[in-house]
């Protein structure tokens, strides 16, 4: 339900991503306090699902790859008053392009909402 609400209200969300050599830093925020709370809850829920290996978007090749490598992907979340700060990183350099691609996917979802979410995620060049 949170995922759908975030896609419906994507215009009230902003996302800024910075690439690092080992992954990304991302700030996902909203000026709408309700949306900010949903962002926080959704981020915590997705981190928990990921750590337990409970698939998300199993039809999407990017998400399949991230789940294959989840043992070497580190996710750190910090709740902000208006959303979430996240760091996704890996000690395995071959995994970092998948983290970058995941960051691009979320930027696309914030920009376009449902139309972008229906598309497969961009894959890194191999």
Read off the pLDDT of residues 12-38 as tens digits, 9 standing for 90 and up: 999 999 999 999 999 999 999 999 999
Global confidence as pTM:
0.94
Return d(Cα 58, Cα 73) in angstroms, integer: 18
pLDDT at 126: 67
**Are the C-beta atoms of 30 and 83 separated by less than 8 Å?**
yes
122 in a structural domain: no
Number of domains present in the structure of the chain:
1
DSSP-assigned states of every residue in 56-123: SSTT-HHHHHHHHTGGGEEEEEEEETTEEEEEEEES-TTTHHHHHHHHHHHHHHHHHSHHHHTSPPPP
125 in a structural domain: no
- Radius of gyration, alpha carbons of the chain: 14
Domain holding 43, by residue range, is 2-114
18 in a structural domain: yes
């Amino acid at each position: 339900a949170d995922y759908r609400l975030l896609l419906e209200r994507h215009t009230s969300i902003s996302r800024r991503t910075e690439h690092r050599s080992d992954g990304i830093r991302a700030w996902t925020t909203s000026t709408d306090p309700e949306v900010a709370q949903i962002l926080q809850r959704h981020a915590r829920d997705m981190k928990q699902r990921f750590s337990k290996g409970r698939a998300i978007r199993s039809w999407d090749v990017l998400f399949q790859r991230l789940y294959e490598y989840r043992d070497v992907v580190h996710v750190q979340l910090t709740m902000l008053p208006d959303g979430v700060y996240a760091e996704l990183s890996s000690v395995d350099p071959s995994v970092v392009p998948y983290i970058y691609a995941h960051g691009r996917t979320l930027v696309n979802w914030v920009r376009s909402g449902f139309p972008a979410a229906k598309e497969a995620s961009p894959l890194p060049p191999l």
